[in-house]
Amino acid sequence: MIVILKNDPNPRQLENLRNWLRSMGLEIHESRGANSHILGLVGDTSGVDIDLISALDIVREVKRVQEPFKKASRAFHPLDRCVDVGGVPVGRGHFTLIAGPGTVTHRDQVLEAAARAKEAGVQIFKAAAFKPRTSPYAFHGLGREGLDLLLEAKKVSGLPVMSVMTSPEQLDLFSQVDLIELDHRAMQDYELLRALGKTQKPVLLRRGASATLEEWLMSAEYLLDGGNENVLLCDGGIRTFESNVPAALDPSCVPALRALTPLPVLCDPSVACGRAALVPALAQACAAAGCDGLVISASLDPQHALTEGPASISFDLMKTLSKRIGLLRAALEASHVQ
Amino acid sequence: MIVILKNDPNPRQLENLRNWLRSMGLEIHESRGANSHILGLVGDTSGVDIDLISALDIVREVKRVQEPFKKASRAFHPLDRCVDVGGVPVGRGHFTLIAGPGTVTHRDQVLEAAARAKEAGVQIFKAAAFKPRTSPYAFHGLGREGLDLLLEAKKVSGLPVMSVMTSPEQLDLFSQVDLIELDHRAMQDYELLRALGKTQKPVLLRRGASATLEEWLMSAEYLLDGGNENVLLCDGGIRTFESNVPAALDPSCVPALRALTPLPVLCDPSVACGRAALVPALAQACAAAGCDGLVISASLDPQHALTEGPASISFDLMKTLSKRIGLLRAALEASHVQ
Amino acid sequence: MIVILKNDPNPRQLENLRNWLRSMGLEIHESRGANSHILGLVGDTSGVDIDLISALDIVREVKRVQEPFKKASRAFHPLDRCVDVGGVPVGRGHFTLIAGPGTVTHRDQVLEAAARAKEAGVQIFKAAAFKPRTSPYAFHGLGREGLDLLLEAKKVSGLPVMSVMTSPEQLDLFSQVDLIELDHRAMQDYELLRALGKTQKPVLLRRGASATLEEWLMSAEYLLDGGNENVLLCDGGIRTFESNVPAALDPSCVPALRALTPLPVLCDPSVACGRAALVPALAQACAAAGCDGLVISASLDPQHALTEGPASISFDLMKTLSKRIGLLRAALEASHVQ
Amino acid sequence: MIVILKNDPNPRQLENLRNWLRSMGLEIHESRGANSHILGLVGDTSGVDIDLISALDIVREVKRVQEPFKKASRAFHPLDRCVDVGGVPVGRGHFTLIAGPGTVTHRDQVLEAAARAKEAGVQIFKAAAFKPRTSPYAFHGLGREGLDLLLEAKKVSGLPVMSVMTSPEQLDLFSQVDLIELDHRAMQDYELLRALGKTQKPVLLRRGASATLEEWLMSAEYLLDGGNENVLLCDGGIRTFESNVPAALDPSCVPALRALTPLPVLCDPSVACGRAALVPALAQACAAAGCDGLVISASLDPQHALTEGPASISFDLMKTLSKRIGLLRAALEASHVQ
């Protein structure tokens, strides 16, 4: 951590600051120039609250040298993490397709969708029973009944399942769900993060609509610090000025996160782009950027069902896309070997 | 609601759509031109899921004419709302100052701060006992013990108090707290919104860092739809590309919300600008934009305490600022009369 | 175009509006409901200034049904455009690599770089002689002398060349340059756009840092409307809140633009991500999203030269990347055929 | 400037870097800890290209301690700048109202508008003759003829005038214009900045839609470095995700710029908020934030003229607003004295 002082700091205040920093076990390297006076802090600064120091009259700015996260940091955990989701390995070279309809609506739908998903090459089936919605008047899912139907689909299809959890009180209800999905609006729901941190349940942690990579990893740190190492990150786009798409898919985050963290990184082009026509191109883009898997909205007869959002693709297209991505990844791997 | 069709829509699909819309009790006005074919829907469209229609092959775009919120809408509730917070009226011409330290740290601090706040003209005292923090390693507040100290400060000072609630399980604990604050990260925590919607507790609903006005009002709608009409809105800045401040205070939202909703609108310059030096100018700006009150971080001896963020101002400055804003508002009112 | 009126519009003002619209040759379809009153305008609305109508007291909102651009619109020009750049076709199924150092610094550098670029599979060589820089104190290029060196490199290598133009006065100077690059800061420099619109010079029009797709295409419309159809679009990322990268590469724009315009779309991962380590992953992502080519910063010995930005890759890596993208594109094409 | 090295830097590369830095006259303070190795550079670093150092393999990050601008910096020029615009002082405690219609449309309009502006308390009259427009099909102003009419209005009314310049070639044409306005799209049009930097013409430099404060001041630095000290800054809002307004007015920039620069700072609520109903509240907000003046769109009969944008207010409202802001400023000054 580096503390940049204002010109001519009050000597008594400066001495107070030095003493306080030393009392936290930090060593101070001081560098003084014509226009700058800097304190370089050496030691474990993860416990130092950057805001407290910034508040001092004599301080111009404080800059971190190290990241504020540790358990999510590649610096401390260099090896790629691999998470087991109901027998399906995610991360460390594996590539995982998670797909399914937005919501469980009735028994036939979820059973048939799971069968079609399996046939299309999907490895983890997804559907929400508890559906966070911006409007109180929208359909919020079938709840417990929907979850039962999803678990029946799991049994029949043999695919592990992912579903959205919205409250710590649902933990028991989700005991047979293989992968807990946290909605992007819940990335900083610390109650939920702490509750899940105490379990060993795999968690898919979606990036908040305007979360920085650091904030996102700090939320992962809540899970990891609680003792749960089964964390997957999933980008579904970030909020920008551009109104052509609901959110701008951010493939830059894939290689950027690779450098910062060993956690698997997935991408969800469906929620980002908001319409089916863009999904294949963006799914390919994310795969080519090197992500560990994709989350895709796919449903039976998207054109006539009137029950799915405009980003849902058909399982036929899902199947084609799954093959294309396999070929694309093979081509990239082949060229690595050359 | 207006449905803009693609050129040459499939006649059978179009007829299906017409029938489906009529089955929802909507009247259809059709307008057909050389380059456009439009369905104008007349009737109550609040139950129509815009995404379902957008998903159809024959539809190019769907546009709302009416807002998706009703109970938060000025169109249906023209009169300015006034919320009673422990005897202090907020909204409908009143101007309310809410201030206090970020966190309760010990008994002397909170008692003295409340006394100083009262003397400075503050009407509602605030301090967090449960503190949402981006890092799991940061100080998260004293919890239940902190809340007890805050309630003691309420008793001694006679000021109503505001404090952050982070979970529906804390409802009983907050029975004596006059105003429940929802952190900006919890604006779309629907479990918390539903739980508070069932009470009559005044709620200060902070705007999410990248929430649109419509999303914000939809979150208010959750509270109102539950039956709780005591809702205050508070802007603490929005997330932008500019890194000079943590968030860009958005005074445009004050007159814009006035047109959309009768709910009181407050502003928090402290969390937005992130440093004390900018607080007075921005507090004045928000007051001049016509907001119903301010939330300001103020603490004892911000320079030496090393316990508050860099945006905290002293109670001496709080007092001066309170007076200035009074004069400013008087000047604006005088000029209205002229 | 759809005009949504406020409730109970003044009848005289409404009649004035109707007459004015009819005087512009538009037909009006009126649709009136309990809560809405809408005018649907049929006819050529490209000459109607949306702001003028919005300004009227009786109007709540005006919405376009058609895009405001025509010559850049796929609706009017369905066939993919192919632009000839010094013998190299860009667009309509071709994939073009444009690469080279940021700036011409001296004769040996530019000649050797061009030779290495050619060997690496690059089809158009690039280097700036006039370099727009945020700071007046930074190196702004060698100017006319640099351009001469670039043209020598063109002659020796046989590669067509691209270079940045900053003023209409440079038109004569650039007569031998095959592709004129417009800096992202100049996307709305209408003087420059008009001047280039009068030529037949191929132009690479970079997207402004916060330009919407519509604004970008309106800038292309300036060139096309002037008579120059040789327009390439190039995304170099958009400005967001995320500070991990200078700009967020926006591959969503590739399929989105495909639907809107027949113009070729290229991507520049180097300027977007700002560091060499991210370039390969992002270059692959853009290619997989279906863009028509890439612009990449590549230079001799990026580690020791101290003359290039941190995003420059070596020509060795450029060569590998060129091959990988070839394989990737072959895999995607193969899967289309299946 | 601080150079943060990666762990275990290559000793030979590190020695090269040290030598190169010393060759630029910089002193190096080295600070080495268990997890960090830092070089503190002391001396004049304004000539050091931060990108060059960042590009080195051994460097993790480079951080500036000092701002990259000098002539626009308050650190070097502590006294508030006052700019004389045709006899009207701007800055250093003065408060200046600049207002007028968006565009000169005909003789009567501009003459009457100037008279009404003067009567309303406006000090500088504005109207565009050369109008940058997003669309090539929109009205781009009357050009030279419009400028002549504006100069006639100047003569008749006695008010100094401001008008938009779009090309260095117009310099002669603008010789009688008192204040040159640079459109927000031209903030980084370096040709225009350099040309104006060689004159002594007062320039109103609008902030780009997504320009950081630093980028904005670097553009001012172009003017100042050329020798023109008559620079006014004007914020017209920044681009965000919020679609309720075209741009989010950013009053935080007023006190933030005060700390960074001695240049006068004005605000334009009209272009930011895009509709007349929001203008008064936002004009008051900017004045209360401490800006040096306002730019406001005002026109004759905005409701019926059909020639102005939706943000134009009437001169009657302009007059009222001018008075209110006077009272508001008096109240703030009075409270300073107390």
Q: Concatenated DSSP letters for D269-296?
A: HHHHH-SGGGHHHHHHHHHHTT-SEEEE
Per-residue confidence at C338, pLDDT binned at 50, 70, 90? very low
Q: Do B29 and C38 touch (CB under 8 A)?
A: yes
Q: Which residues pair with D90 in a beta bridge?
A: D83
pLDDT of residue C43: 78
Mean pLDDT of the region C314-325: 96
A55-59, B50-54, B127-131, C242-246 — which one is most confidently predicted on average? B127-131
Q: Which of D36, D41, D66 sits opposite A65 (nearest CB)?
A: D36
The ipTM, to two decimals, is: 0.91
CATH H-level superfamily of B2-63: Phospho-2-dehydro-3-deoxyheptonate aldolase; domain 1 (3.30.70.1140)
Does D240 lie at the interface with C, CB-CB under 8 angstroms? Answer: no
Amino acid at D131: K
Q: Which CATH number fits the domain B83-337, given the four candidates 3.40.50.720, 3.40.50.880, 3.20.20.70, 2.60.40.10?
A: 3.20.20.70
The pLDDT tens digits for B90-142 are: 999 999 999 999 999 999 999 999 999 999 999 999 999 999 999 898 889 99
Cα–Cα dist B45/D157, whole Å: 54
Quote the tokens at residue D39.
């070089």
For residue A288, the distance in angstroms to the closest alpha carbon of chain B comes to 27
Q: Which of C210, C248, C330 sits opposite A250 (nearest CB)?
A: C248
What is the percent of chain D with per-residue pLDDT over 70, rounded to a whole number? 96
pLDDT of residue C304: 55
Mean pLDDT of the region C129-149: 93
What is the percent of chain B with per-residue pLDDT over 90, rounded to a whole number? 70
**Strand ranges for chain D from DSSP E:** 2-5, 27-32, 37-42, 59-63, 83-85, 88-90, 96-100, 124-126, 161-164, 179-182, 203-206, 231-235, 265-267, 293-297
Q: Which of B283, B282, B293 is nearest to B233 (CA)?
A: B293
Question: What does the DSSP 8-state code read for residue C127?
Answer: -
**Mutation for B interface: A188, A222, A245, A278, most B CBs within 10 A:** A188
> Do B38 and B4 touch, CB atoms closer than 8 A?
yes
Which residues touch D239 (CB under 8 Å, ≥6 apart)? Answer: A241, C210, D209, D210, D247, D248
Q: Which of A55, A209, A310 sits opposite B55 (nearest CB)?
A: A310
pLDDT of residue C81: 97
Q: Check pLDDT > 70 for residue B307.
A: no
Q: Check pLDDT > 80 for residue B22.
A: yes
Q: Which of B18-32, B52-66, B258-272 has the least mean pLDDT?
A: B52-66
Size of interface B-D (CB pairs under 8 A): 140
Per-residue confidence at B338, pLDDT binned at 50, 70, 90? very low
User: Where do the domains of chain C lie?
Assistant: 2-63, 83-337
Torsion (CA) C167, C173, C176, C180 in degrees, nearest 10: -10
Nearest chain B residue to D269 by CA distance is B252
Cα–Cα dist B320/B313, whole Å: 11
Q: What are the backbone angles phi and psi of residue B219, rounded to the nearest 5°?
A: -70, -40
Size of interface A-C (CB pairs under 8 A): 140
Other CB atoms within 10 Å distance of the CB of residue C200 = 11
What is the percent of chain C with per-residue pLDDT over 90, rounded to a whole number? 70
Flag whether the pTM goes above 0.90. yes
Quote the tokens at residue B298.
């103020």
Q: Do C310 and D55 touch (CB under 8 A)?
A: yes
State the Cα angle at A311 between A235 and A330, rounded to 5°: 60
Mean pLDDT of the region C30-57: 76
Does A239 lie at the interface with D, CB-CB under 8 angstroms? Answer: yes
The pLDDT tens digits for D265-280 are: 999 999 999 889 999 9
Does C306 lie at the interface with D, CB-CB under 8 angstroms? Answer: yes
Q: Which of D27, D36, D210 sits opposite A42 (nearest CB)?
A: D36
> Do B242 and D260 touch, CB atoms closer than 8 A?
no
Q: Which of A246-255, D28-37, D59-68 has the least mean pLDDT?
A: D28-37
H or E segment and range at residue B108: helix B107-119
Contacting chains of C (3 CB pairs or more, <8 Å) are: A, B, D
For residue B130, the distance in angstroms to the closest alpha carbon of chain A comes to 11
H or E segment and range at residue A324: helix A315-337
> Do B96 and B297 touch, CB atoms closer than 8 A?
no
Per-residue confidence at D99, pLDDT binned at 50, 70, 90? very high
Q: End-to-end alpha-carbon separation of chain A, Å? A: 43
**Mutation for D interface: C46, C63, C167, most D CBs within 10 A:** C167
Quote the tokens at residue C149.
């060196």
Does D256 lie at the interface with A, CB-CB under 8 angstroms? Answer: no
pLDDT of residue A335: 80
Segments of chain A scoring below 50 in pLDDT = 338
Amino acid at C105: T
The pLDDT tens digits for C66-101 are: 788 999 999 889 999 999 999 999 999 999 999 999
User: Pick the residue with more confidence: D307 or D272?
Assistant: D272
Q: Which of A60-69, C207-216, C264-273, D213-222 has the least mean pLDDT?
A: A60-69
Cα–Cα dist D318/D303, whole Å: 15
Question: Which residue bears the tokens 């003691």?
Answer: B152
Q: Do A42 and D27 touch (CB under 8 A)?
A: no
Q: Check pLDDT > 70 for residue B303.
A: no
Mean pLDDT of the region C318-334: 95
For residue A244, the distance in angstroms to the closest alpha carbon of chain D comes to 12
Question: What does the DSSP 8-state code read for residue A121?
Answer: T
Q: Check pLDDT > 70 for residue D303.
A: no
DSSP class per residue in C206-263 = EPPTT--HHHHHHHHHHHHHHT---EEEEE--B--S--SSSSB--TTHHHHHHHH--S
> Do D219 and D185 touch, CB atoms closer than 8 A?
no
Q: Enumerate the H helices of D60-126 as residue ranges.
A: 107-119
Q: Check pLDDT > 90 for residue B157.
A: yes
Q: Do D2 and A241 touch (CB under 8 A)?
A: no
User: Pick the residue with more confidence: C60 or A253?
Assistant: A253
Coil, helix or strand at residue D111: helix
